[in-house]
Structure 1
Amino acid sequence: MEMLSDQLLIRSFQKAAELQLHSDFVRLLTQEMKRRNLFVLSKES
């Protein structure tokens, strides 16, 4: 996880959420984003 750039981590999180991947994987990405103090604004339709 530490080898991912911030930008790639955010893109991975967005794609995982879009594809509704396993919640454990999304949670792992979320935890890493929190650790790095990264935040993503959600897009509302």
Structure 2
Amino acid sequence: MKQHEFWAQKKISRTDAAIREVALLNAYSAVSTKRHPLAPLALDA
């Protein structure tokens, strides 16, 4: 694999991880605003 291809892959995976992190935060805040009984479990997971 060429050097620039390698860095492109790394950048994509980092972006993917960031998107997943934001999605998790959004899901958690949605759950916690509803005062859902599973909210503490979501935090521990």
Specify the TM-score bucket, using the shorter chain as the normaliser.
0.3 to 0.5
Bigger helix fraction: 2
Larger Rg: 2
Higher relative contact order (CA 8 A, sep 6+): 1
TM-score normalised according to structure 1 size? 0.45
